[in-house]
Chain A
Amino acid sequence: MAEVRAEMTANVWKVLVAAGDVVADGDTLVILESMKMEIPVVAEEDGTIIEVLVNEGDTINEDELIATIG
């Protein structure tokens, strides 16, 4: 199982996937917004989304778990 974590403190602007979705390496899962910049969070391997732990509008901290891929 792979964990996708936040690289920085940010607001969650868009959540593009849900549990059960099949994703490929490089697919955008979530778009964060921090300091007026959009930061796409991408899958780093092929798999199925097990869980998405953030919602649009949430503020998340550096290293916080965003999603798990199995």
Chain B
Amino acid sequence: MFESVLVANRGEIARRVIRTASRLGVRSIAVYSEADAELPFVAEAQEAICIGPAAPAESYLNTEAVLAAAAKSEAQAIHPGYGFLSENADFADSVAERGHVWVGPSGEAMREMGDKIAARNRMSAAGVPVAPGTTEPVDTIEAATAEAEKIGYPVMVKASAGGGGIGMSAAHDADELAKVFETARTRAERFFANPAILLEKFVPSARHIEVQILGLADGTVVALGERDCSVQRRHQKVAEESPSPAVTPQLREEIMAAAVRAGEAVGYRNAGTVEMLFDTSSGEAWFLEMNTRLQVEHPVTEAIFGIDLVEEQFRIAAGLAPTFDPTNLPIPNGHALELRIYAEDPKRFLPGPGTITTWNEPTGAGIRVDSGYVQGNVVTPFYDPLLAKLIVHGDDRDDAIARARTAVAEFTIVGPKNNLPFFTELLDNPEFTAGEYDTGIIARMRA
């Protein structure tokens, strides 16, 4: 195992990675922006280095500042968390060139998966099912219209280099496509500096199901179950669970095998997630994209498999075998839910930064809270609205839901707006409690 790790991230995920580092006796180094100086991840790391002003471009996305901090602190490894630089292949290469261990896949594997069009083509060639869609970037509205005719409406319009649901919309006819295409292109340029657009068959009733994979140090790829991430607003996840109530044992076997093939096709190392779209009417599952990093919702997998994915990431990066026997994978136990506590109002989900005057986390059996803040902290408008993740583990789905209801009721946050009242609603929603929901569940709750 390496001696030290710099965590190139902030908030809950920085804190979570630091926790595992401490447990394993690995020296932890935090980097932070001027806006985050008071947050707990800065205090909890053994060393902390300020890397610039609040704006992400000047701090968390500033590769030179992060690398300078790594040099100064003699960090042996760098863990990128999720978001920010985690899927920046050039950064991963620079980290390795400067003699640090990158806790993640190679820059090459990230490049192959970072472009959604290239990734779809690559997966299709490897025998992983993909949804009908474009195999080349679509540059003009004329080309988009022609492709949409071929695929058949409705179509989903996406930024090929995109993520986080930004610049993604469905079009049901040519008029709507004209509107949506322009917006998608503008957003793709602004957020991802790449205007390439992808059109894909739009599935009206879909579940978002993803598979956790680990590419081990010896090259073996293993799949550790699925997560259902269908509770979404603005194409962003709000709650996740594992196992998925929609996945039958046979489908599970198929998607685990597909995910392993996907990883093997690109020689994948470290933790990754194969995202799939599940059509609730046909029962088919299609490859959507691969996230070449740790996911926000990784704790639901940890809860049911009883492993620490960050520890496994460290071990893989250090060239060590996993903590479990890869020929005899751990058997999942019970059911886990994750609720993302966001600083946003529970009705329209609009962001609401502010000062936290009260913060009381629930505790108890089967309850885990990964939070980025403590009482007295200021939640600023500069970063994403995630305040904390509430992870609940139960003997079965009903037990997990019951524990989640109690935990939500016990969680008190005063100051910034927050979506805890939304979860009270969700946990009593008949579609959710029956496990029979799709990605439209929040829209229906708010209709």
Instruction: Please give me the residue from chain A that is nearest to B187 by CB atom.
Output: A38
Of the residues B350, B384, B385, B417, contact of A39 by C-beta under 8 Å: B350
Q: Which of B343, B353, B381, B384 has the most CB of A within 10 A?
A: B381
Q: Which of B382-441 contact A (CB under 8 A)?
A: 382-385, 417
Q: A35–B354 contact, CB under 8 A?
A: no
Q: Are B384 and A7 in contact (CB under 8 A)?
A: no
Is A10 located at the chain interface by the 8 A CB criterion? yes
Query: Is B245 engaged at the interface, CB distance under 8 Å to the other chain?
Result: no
Q: Is the CB of B381 within 8 A of A9?
A: yes
In the complex, what distance in Å separates the CA atom of A39 from the CA atom of B345?
14
| Chain A contacts for B380, CB-based, 8 A | 9
Partner of B354, one of A9, A36, A37: A9
Q: Is A34 an interface residue (CB 8 A)?
A: yes
Residues of B within 8 A of A10 (CB): 351, 381
Q: Determine whether A55 belongs to the interface, using a CB cutoff of 8 Å to chain B.
A: no
B96 CB to closest chain A CB (Å) equals 29
B350: contacting residue among A7, A33, A36, CB under 8 A = A7
Map CB proximity to A onto B341-376 as digits: 1 under 8 Å, 0 otherwise: 001100000111110000000000000000000000
Interface size class of A (residues with CB under 8 A): 10 to 19
A8 within 8 A of B: yes
Q: How many Å from the CB of A35 to the closest CB on chain B?
A: 4
Q: Give per-residue flags for A44-66: 1 if the beta carbon is below 8 A from chain B beta carbons, else 0.
A: 00000000000000010010000
Q: Which of A10, A11, A37, A62 has the most CB of B within 10 A?
A: A37
- What chain A residues lie within 8 Å of B352 (beta carbons)? 8-9, 62
Task: Say how far B447's CB is from chain A's closest CB, in angstroms.
Answer: 21
Specify the chain A residue showing the minimal Cβ separation from B386: A35
Nearest opposing residue in chain B for A36, CB measure: B384
Chain B residue nearest to A59 (CB atoms) is: B381
**How many Å lie between the Cα of A11 and that of B234 in the bound state?**
20
- Pick from B344, B351, B353 the residue with the most CB of A within 10 Å: B351
CA of A62 to CA of B164 in the docked complex: distance in angstroms?
26
Which of A9, A35, A39 is most buried by chain B, counting CB atoms within 10 A of its CB?
A35
Closest to A10 in B: B381
Cβ A9 vs Cβ B383 within 8 A? no
Complex partner residue of A34 from B164, B234, B381, CB under 8 angstroms = B381
- Docked CA distance A34–B343 (Å): 11
A48 and B352 CA atoms in complex are apart in Å by 29
Bound Cα distance from A11 to B57, whole angstroms: 15
CB-CB under 8 A from B234, the residues of chain A are: 37
* Residue on B nearest A13 in the bound complex, by CB: B190
- Complex A-B, nearest 3 residue pairs according to Cβ-Cβ distance, in ascending order: A35-B351, A35-B385, A34-B381
13 A-B pairs (CB sep. < 8 Å)? A8-B351, A8-B352, A8-B417, A9-B353, A9-B354, A9-B381, A10-B381, A33-B381, A34-B381, A35-B351, A36-B384, A36-B385, A37-B350
State the B residues within 8 Å of A (CB).
164, 234, 343-344, 350-354, 380-385, 417
